[in-house]
Structure 1
């Protein structure tokens, strides 16, 4: 598992090794099984990402392979993150070390949950994604990628591919406005001024 560094602020690029997870309709229950939803915080979820799939494959799951240690960019297929809306799924991926996901398509709520914690989810057509997965698998010794949020493209293995990301999500990543907690903290003095003028708060002071 990668050393975890939680993203903060502007997200202009994501660079690092890729990891390939093939298959359509991989749902949130597979990403993080329901029994792990009882956690008080998300800190240990990275250890349990794809827990049942990894047990079933007995050490041969991509997230157990040493070749993918330190991977930052996850290459998936269509309808990734479908199923329940649990925010634990992107949190588990984040805490394993994933910083961006590139796939054919994403479940809408999963996409929003990823954006809310600074994980860009880019899409490409089927041929593009298959090419990216094949390139990432072809030679682990040079498996290095750079995802350019501004240009909406990914570079690696001596090639580049154009990807898609809606303009709203792209703006949030480039401006840092995806991080609503940071925005609240930065606006703390303004919030204090506003709250001091709210009659339903001052009545209890």
Structure 2
């Protein structure tokens, strides 16, 4: 199983409230059979409109692991392609003011922590990342702290979701393979299942 306790790396600031899933991954990319290649198309229309000036295009943010967003991030449709595109671009955690519920759930299913903090803390972190894109960030799910250089603040996450990430229970395939002997033992006792 894959526990998520500490995520380290650089960050990428994405300023704006109510960034919906259609902006994260436009509908024309939903026809794919697999999620492969979605990372290249994340924020495709916004990136075209900003002609290379979108944070996801700027060279200083290309290896970022932690996305820092504002309020109601991931609102709109329930498409799981949105967190898939973000993750396939390279993001491993998201810190924001608030998240749309279905987007949060889709991220949790993939093992991507979405933690919240105040708008003041978000603004401070985004400003630090603008001024110094190479600044190191650490998200600690055990202590519920985010560190950005010398700046530190507490973050919030539902205790159930946090437990799923820190114990690895979010990883359902990992749970199955870890408990394969127990599954086989139970299967032999089922009257309707024969091997």
With the shorter chain as reference, the TM-score category is over 0.9
User: Alignment partner for residue 139 of structure 1, among 104, 109, 132?
Assistant: 132
Q: What TM-score, normalized by structure 2, do the two folds share?
A: 0.95
Moved more, 130-139 or 183-192: 183-192
Report the Cα offset of residue 156 of structure 1: 1.9
**2:60 paired residue number:** 67
Root mean square deviation, CA, Å: 1.3
- What are the equivalent positions in structure 2 for 1:69-84 lying under 5 Å apart? 69-84=62-77
User: Alignment partner for residue 117 of structure 1, among 110, 127, 131?
Assistant: 110
Moved more, 96-105 or 151-160: 151-160
Write out per-residue CA displacement over residues 82-132 of structure 1, whole angstroms, 9 at most, x where no aligned residue: 011111111111110000000000000110110111111010111111111
2:160 is the counterpart of 1:168: yes
**1:179 paired residue number:** 171
Q: How many residues align?
A: 195
Q: What TM-score, normalized by structure 1, do the two folds share?
A: 0.91
Deviant stretches of 4+, over 4 Å:
none
